[in-house]
Amino acid sequence: MPINFIHPEYEVIRDFNKCIKCRVCERQCSNEVHKLDPDHNIMTADDSKCVCCHRCVSVCPTKALKIVKSDHTFKTNSNWMPETITEIYRQAESGGVLLSSMGNPKPFPVYWDKILINASQVTNPSIDPLREPMETKTFLGAKPNKIERDKDGRLINNLPPQLELTLPIMFSAMSYGSISYNAHESLARAARELGIYYNTGEGGLHEDFYQYGANTIVQVASGRFGVHKGYLDAAAAVEIKMGQGAKPGIGGHLPGTKIGSDISKTRMIPEGTDAISPAPHHDIYSIEDLRQLVYSLKEATEYKKPVIVKIAAVHNVAAIASGIARSGADIISIDGFRGGTGAAPTRIRDNVGIPIELALASVDERLRAEGIRGNVSLVIGGSVRSSTDVVKAIALGADAVYIGTAALIALGCHLCRSCHTGLCNWGIATQKAELVKRLNPEVGYTRLVNLITAWRHEITELMGCMGINSIEALKGNRLMLRGIGLNEKELEILGIKHAGE
């Protein structure tokens, strides 16, 4: 056997004084880290298998376990970092592309954290959300650019189809396949309870979930998995997925091992085959082709449902969005480079695309400069982590946000970033029945409702501070924001002033 060059990144620390050898860690760890050594009657751990998902830590009844980052070190080097060296070992051994999951973990600037929010003092009053109405209702969809009246002078409702949300947050696209049945059920039920929408991702819609159709956005992606008339009819809106923030420019790959009978039926592909989404849509090689797909879907749904076009935030995103705004799309969704994924080539996830804050600011400004901001609504995602990120996104110009990672964390995800292994100990990113059942949809949906309810409270508090009692008065209200520690160019792109100005 060749020498293994890779030292475990994390170590399992067990307090033997506390360990009662109940072996729950052993039973619960799908990565098979823990084992009882029968000869010595002690629990052992194989650190090399640990992904740091905290399942064992959480279920240990005596709190005997913790996971720590190994202090094992390479000889110090500011150029050749341990991670870089380890990745080379792995590739030298396997000859393969490095795979990763969830969002870009690299230390790129997080602009949300360099933006501060305003509050009213003296010249206008702040508003107490406990005493005054505080409105967060949001509509998504194109707005007509003229009004029409009937012969009696009454306004005619000439609105194209709209999505109505109780607050500007939606659950972003995560396919059945990349996440579990129970995770989907939790999202669907929470969306219905909250009066918002969840998104099927590109994996089709399980027949059990048609009942949540009024709160469902269905996706049409390059693989066209699970797309049929009933699927489109079931939904409130249809999203064309052109790109994903975590892996702009490439498609997707759900390995055959995850394509069991249910997923095979939902995706409309044979059991056990790999589900490969091509990098581009092969019927869309340019903007005029996109327009044809937008209108094909509108024809298929009789112009009753908004069509969303989702793109990854890339360098030329403003021009691309401007083209989409003229393509008949009702809503543009932009996914930033910190957005999550069930699996992506590491190099792409960590190096391709741009931060959503900059993409949002430049798209919103560009659409306004061209006078077409009213043609489309703008939904952004790609690492919206808290209610303040939501407020900052709306003030920069978004109509609403998509949250994916935050929703999964609410369901119990510990961001171990190992979704691609399919061994999710929390029952989220797995198709193994014994793991899936660990996520109770009743509990999951309650936790999602709690999270969004908590964020709603915080959003209305922040609005009250600013003296704003309706979310639409926050949209694009960039004077409510100030940058901190940003250079002139960054401020210019974000369209905000520096703190103190």
The contact set with another protein (CB under 8 A) reads 120, 123-125, 127, 132-133, 135, 137, 139, 143-144, 146-147, 149, 154-155, 157, 159, 162, 368, 371, 373-374, 397, 466-470, 472-480, 497, 501
Q: Shortest Cβ distance from residue 380 to another protein (Å)?
A: 17
Residue closer to another protein (CB basis): 162 or 430 = 162
Count CB neighbours of 420 within 10 A.
18
Residue closer to another protein (CB basis): 264 or 477 = 477
Local structure of 222: helix, strand or coil: coil
Residue closer to another protein (CB basis): 458 or 472 = 472
Return the DSSP state at 237. Answer: E
Distance from C-alpha of 237 to C-alpha of 304, rounded to nearest angstrom? 9
Q: Shortest Cβ distance from residue 471 to another protein (Å)?
A: 9
Torsions phi, psi for 78 (to 5 deg): -85, -10
Residue closer to another protein (CB basis): 260 or 495 = 495
**Is 498:119 a contact under the CB 8 Å cutoff?**
no
Q: Shortest Cβ distance from residue 148 to another protein (Å)?
A: 9
Q: Shortest Cβ distance from residue 361 to another protein (Å)?
A: 12
Distance from C-alpha of 142 to C-alpha of 156, rounded to nearest angstrom? 16
Q: Output helix, strand, coil percentages for the chain, rounded to the nearest 5.
A: 35, 15, 45
Distance from C-alpha of 220 to C-alpha of 295, rounded to nearest angstrom? 13
Q: Shortest Cβ distance from residue 229 to another protein (Å)?
A: 29
Local structure of 277: helix, strand or coil: strand
Count CB neighbours of 17 within 10 A.
7
**Is 192:447 a contact under the CB 8 Å cutoff?**
no
Q: Concatenate the DSSP letters of all residues of 279-292 into one string.
A: SS-TT-SSHHHHHH
Return the DSSP state at 176. Answer: B
Instruction: Copy the structure tokens of residue 448.
Output: 């999602």
> 131-147 in b/e burial notation, b at 16+ Cβ within 10 A?
eeebebebebbbeeeee
210: closest CA among 176, 240, 261, 242? 176
Residue closer to another protein (CB basis): 266 or 362 = 362
Q: Shortest Cβ distance from residue 151 to another protein (Å)?
A: 15
Residue closer to another protein (CB basis): 308 or 428 = 308
Q: Shortest Cβ distance from residue 133 to another protein (Å)?
A: 5
Q: How many CA atoms lie within 13 A of 57 on its CB side?
A: 12
Residue closer to another protein (CB basis): 21 or 137 = 137
Residue closer to another protein (CB basis): 162 or 200 = 162
Residue closer to another protein (CB basis): 293 or 360 = 360
Which residues are within 8 A (CB) of 486 and not within 5 positions of it... i.e. 6 or more apart? 111, 114, 494, 498
Residue closer to another protein (CB basis): 447 or 475 = 475
Residue closer to another protein (CB basis): 149 or 315 = 149
Q: Shortest Cβ distance from residue 385 to another protein (Å)?
A: 24
198: closest CA among 414, 378, 404, 343? 404
Torsions phi, psi for 151 (to 5 deg): -65, -20
Q: Shortest Cβ distance from residue 327 to another protein (Å)?
A: 19
**Is 365:301 a contact under the CB 8 Å cutoff?**
no
Burial class for 421, CB neighbours closer than 10 Å (0-12, 13-18, 19+): middle
Local structure of 474: helix, strand or coil: coil
Q: Shortest Cβ distance from residue 315 to another protein (Å)?
A: 24
Q: Shortest Cβ distance from residue 459 to another protein (Å)?
A: 15
